[in-house]
Structure 1
Amino acid sequence: MGKGGESVRRKPIERHQTLREKILETIRDAILRGALKPGERVSEPELAERFGISRTPIREAFRQLESEGYLEVIPRKGAVVASLSERDVVEFYAIKSILEGHAARIAAERLSDRDIERLEAINAKLQQIAADGDVKSFFRVHDEFHDLFIKASGNDKLAELITQLVLKFNRLRLASLSQPGRMEISVQEHRKIIEAFRQHDGERAENLVRRTATIGAEVLIHSLAQEQGKKTPAPLGAVDV
């Protein structure tokens, strides 16, 4: 794995995590930090030696990381870091905005006062996490916010589709939240969504949730373009609309 492999091996790991979780977190973190670049091979033998295990749990971890969009497993070559394309970003967030927007429209008529209070509490927690700069914790709690209103829609099939979609594209979502100022923008957008829910305004709730997805896509596309030396307009979230 060369220089990227060294970065992976030096990553400190918490003891309480399971071995599989250690492997998953180590590789995810190395990719998100740029220690492992798109197209770079991730070596099974080096990971097996580092963790003192057989290759079977490593291959299982590779399969999960492939399903999340971090790796691509190529026959007779092994696992390599998957590339991120603008098309991937556009297509994922387009679908996400439609599904979650529809869930928000339905949920606006079903959320109780207690649900609204829970959303406010979650968003207050997100504000503190954003101030601390903890992207991983923000990512986890951010999911709690969206899961609450998606489940409140009462449409189990819709919730299942959204879950399957976001799991497959966790890398895109985490990469977007990792961009400077993105967590703070998310907290601001959540406040507007909560107010729409409080007013039981399904149309506005849907539009705001879809706007949030659009911001996520634009922030990530802007970042990808900068990495490639291209010029793009400032993301929508860079201004208060």
Structure 2
Amino acid sequence: MKKILPKETLADQAFKSIKDSIIAGKLEQNEELPEEKLAMDLGISRTPIREALKRLAAEGLIQLNKAKPATVATFSIVDGLHYMEIRRLLEIYNIDKNTDKVSEKILYDLQNNLEEQLESINRNDFHSFIDLDREFHLILASIGDNKKLVELIHDSNAGVNRAFLILSNTLQVSAEEAYNEHTKILKALQNHQKDLAKQLMTSHLDNVEKRFLSYCTQGEMK
């Protein structure tokens, strides 16, 4: 049964519109995003624009700047690999340290997330899949009580998220692979198999890097 979602706010709509323009390349790297111009283009006030820009910054898609307009974030293959290295260190450590603290609610949330991942794959909606993929890892990040660790995992996922959003039109096979890998990780957590969960997360993140590199053909990313 699908969840009943509230009507989208103006900030939600602005967020999606700007995000789609960045992913499609209509807004180029380092391009300025003046609030006044965005508000005029979208026909709304600056308040929802500010909220949308904060969300885009949290996803690594734009850079917020003091005393001047936000800009579209730059990105390269090297950036992606650096973020993936950080993710590997943080997320495997998180499972090793905090697997014993996984609550029933966390397991329930992960299961719901996986169901939504599968729905997005069946709809060929890979933008949504990427968001759900990121959410899966952020739910896992919340199992411990170290808020700084959670923030670091959030930031590293935001950087990786940018790369896969740009490449989302090529993601059908890798989305299915990632979903299957996530499912195995959840099963290990449900069975309290910490060593297996660590092994599966290590394998998953190695595969994420391999998939990333396989899509970074010449001309797609620099």
- Settle same-fold status: TM greater than 0.5: yes
> Quick check: 34-43 or 180-189, which moved more?
34-43
1:27 and 1:85 map into 2 onto residues whose CA distance is 20
Q: Conserved in 1, the CA contact under 8 Å of 2:96 and 2:198?
A: yes
Classify the secondary structure of the residue corresponding to 1:105: helix
1:188 and 1:131 map into 2 onto residues whose CA distance is 14
Q: Conserved in 1, the CA contact under 8 Å of 2:138 and 2:153?
A: no
Equivalent residue number for residue 184 of structure 1: 176
> Quick check: 83-92 or 52-61, which moved more?
52-61
Q: Which residue, out of 194, 217, 221, partners 1:225?
A: 217
**Structure 1 residue 88, shift from structure 2 partner:** 0.9
* Overall identity of the aligned pairs, in %: 28
Is it true that 1:110 corresponds to 2:119 in the alignment? no
1:23 and 1:121 map into 2 onto residues whose CA distance is 27
Q: Conserved in 2, the CA contact under 8 Å of 1:176 and 1:182?
A: no
Q: Give the 3 Å change call, closer, same or farther, for CA 18–95 of structure 1 in structure 2.
A: same
**Structure 1 residue 133, shift from structure 2 partner:** 1.5
1:75 and 1:154 map into 2 onto residues whose CA distance is 32
> Quick check: 113-122 or 22-31, which moved more?
113-122
Is it true that 1:153 corresponds to 2:150 in the alignment? no
Q: Deviations over 1:67-101 (max 9, x none)?
A: 54323568999554333211210111111121111
Equivalent residue number for residue 157 of structure 2: 166
1:151 and 1:59 map into 2 onto residues whose CA distance is 27
Q: Which TM-score applies when normalising by structure 1? A: 0.68
Q: Deviations over 1:25-46 (max 9, x none)?
A: 2111111123333355556554
Q: Deviations over 1:136-155 (max 9, x none)?
A: 43344434433443333344
- Structure 2 matches for 1:1-241, cutoff 5 A? 16-40=7-31, 42=33, 46-53=37-44, 58=49, 61-62=52-53, 65-66=56-57, 68-72=59-63, 79-111=70-102, 116=107, 119-167=110-158, 170-175=161-166, 179-180=170-171, 181-228=173-220
1:76 and 1:118 map into 2 onto residues whose CA distance is 40
1:229 and 1:92 map into 2 onto residues whose CA distance is 16
Q: Give the 3 Å change call, closer, same or farther, for CA 147–56 of structure 1 in structure 2.
A: closer
Task: Name the Cα RMSD after superposition.
Answer: 3.6
Q: Give the 3 Å change call, closer, same or farther, for CA 39–122 of structure 1 in structure 2.
A: closer
**Structure 1 residue 48, shift from structure 2 partner:** 3.0
Q: Give the 3 Å change call, closer, same or farther, for CA 139–112 of structure 1 in structure 2.
A: same
Q: Give the 3 Å change call, closer, same or farther, for CA 213–173 of structure 1 in structure 2.
A: farther
2:109 and 2:47 map into 1 onto residues whose CA distance is 41
> Quick check: 133-142 or 80-89, which moved more?
133-142
Q: Give the 3 Å change call, closer, same or farther, for CA 174–155 of structure 1 in structure 2.
A: same
Q: Give the 3 Å change call, closer, same or farther, for CA 48–115 of structure 1 in structure 2.
A: closer
Q: Conserved in 1, the CA contact under 8 Å of 2:32 and 2:71?
A: yes
1:207 and 1:178 map into 2 onto residues whose CA distance is 29
Q: Give the 3 Å change call, closer, same or farther, for CA 18–199 of structure 1 in structure 2.
A: closer
> Quick check: 51-60 or 157-166, which moved more?
51-60
Q: Give the 3 Å change call, closer, same or farther, for CA 113–65 of structure 1 in structure 2.
A: closer
Q: Give the 3 Å change call, closer, same or farther, for CA 60–126 of structure 1 in structure 2.
A: closer
Unaligned regions of 5+ residues in structure 1, if any? 1-14, 231-241
Q: Conserved in 2, the CA contact under 8 Å of 1:107 and 1:149?
A: no
Equivalent residue letter for 2:24: R
Q: Which TM-score applies when normalising by structure 2? A: 0.73
